[in-house]
Amino acid sequence: MTTAPTATPLAWPELEALDTLQTDRINGPTNAQARLRLFGQTEADVRVTLYRDNHAWCPYCQKVWLWLEEKQIPYRIEKVTMFCYGTKEAWFKKKVPSGMLPALELDGQLITESDDILIALEQVFGPLTVSMRDPKAIPLRQLERLLFRAWCSWLCQPVRSARQEQFNREQFVAVVAKVEAALAATPGPYFLDEFSVVDLVFTPYVERMNASLFYYKGYSMRAENPGFAAWFDAMETRPTYRGTQSDFHTHVHDLPPQMGGCWENGEPQARANQQRVDQGPWLGLPDVGYEEPETPRMEALHRMLRHRNNIVRINPTEDAVIDEALRCALTYLMTGESCEPPQGSDSGLRYLRDRINVPRDMSIYAGKRLRAALEETAALAGDRQGPAIPVRNRYDQNPAEFVADRGTDDEKSLPFGLNWLKR
């Protein structure tokens, strides 16, 4: 429910005074903004460079990223554009002609394909509990691929009848039952007796299944499957996973161009879920289960302040209008006091709401809090939505325009999207 506006928006210097967040991208918790990770060691100890996608959308990159974080192997990060949201950098295509991600350099040797990368890392740094080639791991890795194929069959293939839709659903649920049985066979929540590389193998696509099936099919993996629910809960106790974890809104809109399309079934539950994922409320969605920390609002403010000039510049709304509207939204975010934004700012606020990317821009709860503040403020100005999110590509997220705006410390590209409606 939108509250009556009662406050004057804080000025930028006043908002900056509220930003007391201290972050250590290099040695602190897992985060998507770091360019270098040392875990308390020195740059001389770095033997690894990870090439991953700029927006943290690539599931195979997430798998390698998690492994390095869990093992606390010092590494550098080079971020590369995915084909679905821009043009691959020429320097990367010279290194990897196919342009495919992830890639990794270990002691100067280039390795591609995520499984091959993990096997090579194991040979140098030791396995994560068990090896990828361990007899206990291999059948579970095969099960993950079976689950992946069943998901693709249900989500990514158009159907001509309700009968075919039901068949695809049943095929997926049957494979999920096998995964549930594998989880039930261990004493804890993980796929083996303790957390291992097998959990990292499952993580990227299961996270994306959880989002996409909720949105396009009305199916909740956490609600329907107690084994997966316990597994998600266990994964979310790990700071490494929290640092790479995305939200439903990001995934359901980044997957269609990556997967060649995602097909909704039109059922009432799916439509209700779509409404909530797109327009809120975002708190309480089954994309995260752990208790909200104390810092999300501060984190969202910190990230907005860091990039505020460019956020204003790329918004389709007039600069002066969106500038004031953003101050209204951030005032509400930090104080809970509603400020009436300028007329005509509703679509610009919702443009930004729809282009927050988790974890690229901020962590999951920070993203939820910022989306909510933007929507609460936009509702005071009107009901106009921003430009539609594309489905064939995500060129609205092309980072190329921001090469000249690279940060001077640990960041290289601007978050929060772009458009071609204003120059």
Query: What pLDDT digit, counting tens, does each position of 270-297 carry?
Result: 999 999 999 999 999 999 999 999 999 9
Distance from C-alpha of 235 to C-alpha of 200, rounded to nearest angstrom:
10
Nearest to 390, CA basis, from 359, 418, 367: 418
Question: Which amino acid, one-letter code, is at 282?
Answer: W
252: pLDDT strictly greater than 80 = yes
Q: Interhelix angle for 197-216 vs 226-235, to 10°?
A: 120
**pLDDT at site 359:** 99
Query: What pLDDT digit, counting tens, does each position of 144-196 carry?
Result: 999 999 999 999 999 999 999 999 999 999 999 999 999 999 999 999 999 99
- Write down the pTM of the prediction: 0.94
Mean of pLDDT values over 125-143: 99
What is the percent of the chain where pLDDT is above 90? 92
Count, residues in the chain: 423
Structure-block tokens of residue 45: 């100890």
**pLDDT at site 422:** 39
Q: Measure the CA dihedral 285/290/291/292, to 10°.
A: -70
* DSSP class of 87: P
Res. 75 pLDDT band, cuts 50 70 90? very high
Q: For residue 217, report the phi and psi dihedrals to the nearest 5 degrees.
A: -120, -10
Alpha helices in 156-293 (DSSP H): 162-184, 197-216, 221-224, 226-235, 239-244, 248-259, 268-279
Domains of the chain, first to last = 12-17+295-405 (no CATH), 36-125 (3.40.30.10), 138-279 (1.20.1050.10)
Nearest to 80, CA basis, from 64, 65, 59, 58: 58
Query: What pLDDT digit, counting tens, does each position of 350-399 carry?
Result: 999 999 999 999 999 999 999 999 999 999 999 999 999 999 999 999 99
What Cα–Cα distance (Å) separates residue 62 from each residue in 72, 189, 204, 292, 378?
A: 15, 21, 6, 23, 33
Question: Which amino acid, one-letter code, is at 146?
Answer: L
Query: What pLDDT digit, counting tens, does each position of 92-107 carry?
Result: 999 999 999 999 999 9
Res. 400 pLDDT band, cuts 50 70 90? confident
**pLDDT at site 224:** 97
1: pLDDT strictly greater than 80 = no
Q: Interhelix angle for 296-306 vs 364-381, to 10°?
A: 70
32: pLDDT strictly greater than 90 = yes
